[in-house]
Amino acid sequence: MTGGAGFIGSAVVRRLIAQTEAAVCVVDKLTYAGNLASLAPVSADPRYRFEKADIADGERMRAIFADFDPDIVLHLAAESHVDRSIDGPGAFIETNIVGSYVLLQEALRHWRGLEGGRRERFRFHHISTDEVFGSLGPDGLFDEATAYAPNSPYSASKAASDHLVRAWHHTYGLPTLVTNCSNNYGPYHFPEKLIPLMIINGIEGKPLPIYGNGLNVRDWLYVEDHAEALLLVAQNGRSGETYAIGGSAEMSNRQVVEAICALLDELRPDPAGPHARLITYVADRPGHDARYAIDAGKIRRELGWAPRQSFESGLRRTVEWYLAHQDWWNDIRSGVYRGERLGTGAAP
Ligand code: NAD
C-alpha cells in the first residue's frame, strides 16, 4: 500500500491488520502529511512492514515489488491539500502524476510476471477523489458516469492519475480499480484540514476561520466507512471499474463548524462563552468549488456497502478522539510542522 502513513491510508492499515489475515507493506515517503504515530497501533505486528520510499523512484518500487510480491496494490500516496496545490503545484505533479505513472509501470511489470490464479486475482486499486468532477450546482450528484472537470491543481493532478490508470487497463490489460470518494473526516486527520483545524482551534480558544460565506457544500464520510469500502472494492470490485463512494451527508462548511462548536460546548465547555463566538469569515479560496455530492448507488448495489456512521455520530466520535489524543496533534503542531503555514481552514 502506498501512502499508508497518511490519514486514510493509516485507517486502512489498522483495519487490515485488525480484521484480516493480510500482510501489509506500507510504502510512504513520509512527507509533512505522513506520520508514523498513526501506525503505532500496528507497528509491532509481524504482518506489518514499512518502507520509506518515494513512489516516483522506479528502482525502489521495482525492488519492493520483487521483495514483497503483492497480490493487491492500494495506491493512496498523494499530495492531498488543495491550498498547498495553489501555493505550490509542483509536488502535486511529481507525486500524483509522475509518481502514479512510475507505480503503474512497476505494477504492470509485476503483474506480467505473475502466473495462474495470482495473475487473475491481482488488482491495482487507485484511490481518488470526487473533486475530479468539478463543482455541482444546487442539484444533482456525481456518479461513475460524470464527466471530469477538475478546477484546482490538486484535482487536476488526481484527474490525470485517474486517466493514467484507465489507460493502463485499456491499453495493457492491467487489472485496475478506481474509487472516487467524497471528503473524509475522523481520527488521525492532519490538523490543516477543515474539521481537525476547527476542533483544535476551538479547544485552544483560537479563531475558527471559514472561507467566503461558508456556504460551500461537501458530502462528508467517516474515514472508517471509507476504509471499509476500499477493502470491499479491492477484494470484490470488478476489474476495470470505477466506484463512487460518499456519505450522503451534505453539509455546508458553516454547518460543519457550527456542529463542532455545539459538540465542544457540550464536551469541553469554555468559560469564556459558546465556541461559535470564535467563528470568523476570511477571503475565499481561489476557484473554490461550490458543491460536491456523491451518488453511491453502484457500490451499494454491487458490493452491499453503506456508511455505518451518520455525520452526527461520526463527528461526535471525531471530536471525542481529538479531545482524548492531544499528544498526537500537539506533536504535529509543535515539532514537525514548525515554520510551515497551516491552512486557513476552509474545505480540504
Ligand atoms: P494524506 O495527505 O493524509 O496522506 C498522504 C500520504 O502519502 C502521506 O503519508 C505522505 O507521506 C504520502 N506521500 C506523499 N507523497 C508521496 C510520495 N511521493 N511517495 C510516497 N508517499 C508519499 O492524504 P489522505 O487524506 O489520507 O488521502 C489519501 C488518498 O485518498 C489521496 O490519494 C487522496 O487524493 C485520496 N482522497 C482523500 C480524501 C480526503 O478527504 N482526505 C477524499 C477522497 C480521496
pLDDT in tens, 280-289: 999 988 888 8
Gap between the Cα atoms of 165 and 241, Å rounded:
11
CA of 115 to the centre of ligand 1 (A): 31
Give the start-end residues of each E strand in the chain. 24-28, 48-52, 72-75, 123-129, 176-181, 183-185, 208-211, 217-222, 241-245, 250-252, 279-282
Gap between the Cα atoms of 284 and 223, Å rounded:
26
Gap between the Cα atoms of 182 and 2, Å rounded:
20
CA distances for 159 relative to 30, 173, 264, 274, 295, angstroms: 23, 20, 37, 41, 19
> For residue 180, which phi and psi values (nearest 5 degrees)?
-115, 115
Residue 334: CA count within 13 A, CB half-sphere = 6
Ligand 1 near 103 CB (within 6 A)? no
> What percentage of the chain carries pLDDT values higher than 70?
96
Computed over every residue of the chain, the mean pLDDT equals 94
For the record, the C-alpha cell of 219 comes out as 458530502
ipTM higher than 0.85? yes
Question: Each residue of 204-229: b (16+ CB within 10 Å) or e?
Answer: eeeebbbbbebebbbbbbbbbbbbbb
Pairing of strands 217-222, 250-252: antiparallel
**pLDDT confidence of residue 336:** 54
Question: Which atom of ligand 1 has the smallest separation from the CA of 183?
Answer: 40
CA of 9 to the centre of ligand 1 (A): 7
**Residue whose CB lies within 8 A of the most ligand 1 atoms, among 61, 76, 251, 256, for a mutation test:** 76
Q: What angle separates helix 58-68 from helix 100-113, to the nearest 10 degrees?
A: 40
Question: Which atom of ligand 1 has the smallest separation from the CA of 9?
Answer: 26
Q: What is the pLDDT of residues 100-144, one digit of tens each?
A: 999 999 999 999 999 999 999 999 999 999 999 999 989 999 999
Query: Looking at the annotation, which residues are catalytic?
Result: 130-131, 154
> For residue 285, which phi and psi values (nearest 5 degrees)?
-70, 140
C-beta separation of 184 from 253 below 8 A: no
Ligand 1 near 42 CB (within 6 A)? no
Domains in the chain, ordered, with CATH? Answer: 7-188+221-248+291-309 (3.40.50.720)
**pLDDT confidence of residue 291:** 94
Q: Which three-class secondary structure state does DSSP give residue 217?
A: strand
pLDDT class for 348, splitting at 50, 70, 90? very low
Q: Which three-class secondary structure state does DSSP give residue 123?
A: strand
Question: Which atom of ligand 1 has the smallest separation from the CA of 189?
Answer: 3
C-beta separation of 253 from 183 below 8 A: no
Q: What is the pLDDT of residues 164-204, one digit of tens each?
A: 999 999 999 999 999 999 999 999 999 989 999 999 999 99
CA distances for 108 relative to 62, 104, 166, 239, angstroms: 11, 6, 13, 14
pTM of the predicted model, to two decimals? 0.95
Average pLDDT over residues 326-339: 73
240 burial via Cβ count (<10 Å: 0-12, 13-18, 19+): middle
CA of 316 to the centre of ligand 1 (A): 24
Gap between the Cα atoms of 248 and 294, Å rounded:
7
Average pLDDT over residues 140-157: 97
Q: What is the pLDDT of residues 240-252, one digit of tens each?
A: 999 999 999 999 9
